[in-house]
A and B are shown apart, each in its own frame.
Chain A
Amino acid sequence: MQSYRERGAFEKEGAQLVLIGQATPRHAAHFRRRQGIDLTVLADEKRRSYKAAGAKVATLNELVGPKVMAKGLISSMRSRQPQGRTIGHPAQLGGTMIIGRDGSVAWSHMSEDASDNATPEEIVAALRGI
């Protein structure tokens, strides 16, 4: 959600942000209301796009291991927002991808564990490099 909060920085670089979640449109609508998001949220209940993006399913250690839990706790404290109820496949990981106008994947950061997310700064730097 850090990406959503920093989306103005992406737009400044001429790119738009697209959020995709692994649940139903109803869940996406609830998520938007809860998080106060005014951006379209796409729903991929069957996780087809996750597979096409090369996202992986976590092992137990990659999901709730000590390193992951510690990072998650710090992240929740920083954002002052506790993690909500998990909807969808609990071990499915996500990621971030920048796709250029020609359809090439200019940059990607697919999560290696549940605490591994691209920072907005990394995304902006990647946008400046394409």
Chain B
Amino acid sequence: MGIIGTAGERQHTHPPERADDLADMELPDQDGAEHRLGDYWKDAPAVLVWLRHYG
């Protein structure tokens, strides 16, 4: 691990072919209410954006 948590060596992204591992994850929203990720694409496609930070 490098300065401020940076990787010492270049990493590679590895998005999965299926979102099965993501589907059952529950994450809280801004009010603390839990949301199951898989519910977002149950009825229609979902665009998930992972923010680098809340800046």
Contact A52 B29 (CB under 8 A): no
Give which listed residue, B16, B17, B46, contacts A15 with CB less than 8 A: B46
Q: Does A90 contact B (CB under 8 A)?
A: yes
Give which listed residue, A15, A30, A53, contacts B22 with CB less than 8 A: A53
Q: Does A42 contact B (CB under 8 A)?
A: yes
Closest Cβ–Cβ distance, residue A107 to chain B (whole Å): 9
- Per DSSP, chain B at the interface is loop
Contact B22 A49 (CB under 8 A): yes
Q: How distant is the Cα of A97 from the Cα of B47 in the complex, in angstroms?
A: 6
Give which listed residue, B41, B44, B50, contacts A20 with CB less than 8 A: B50
Contact A53 B15 (CB under 8 A): yes
Q: How distant is the Cα of A63 from the Cα of B50 in the complex, in angstroms?
A: 16
Give which listed residue, B4, B48, B53, contacts A96 with CB less than 8 A: B48
A binding-site residues for B, Cβ under 8 Å: 3-4, 10, 13-23, 25, 27-32, 40-44, 48-50, 52-60, 62-63, 83-101, 103-106, 108, 110-112, 114, 123, 127, 130
B binding-site residues for A, Cβ under 8 Å: 2-23, 25, 27-32, 35, 37-38, 40-55
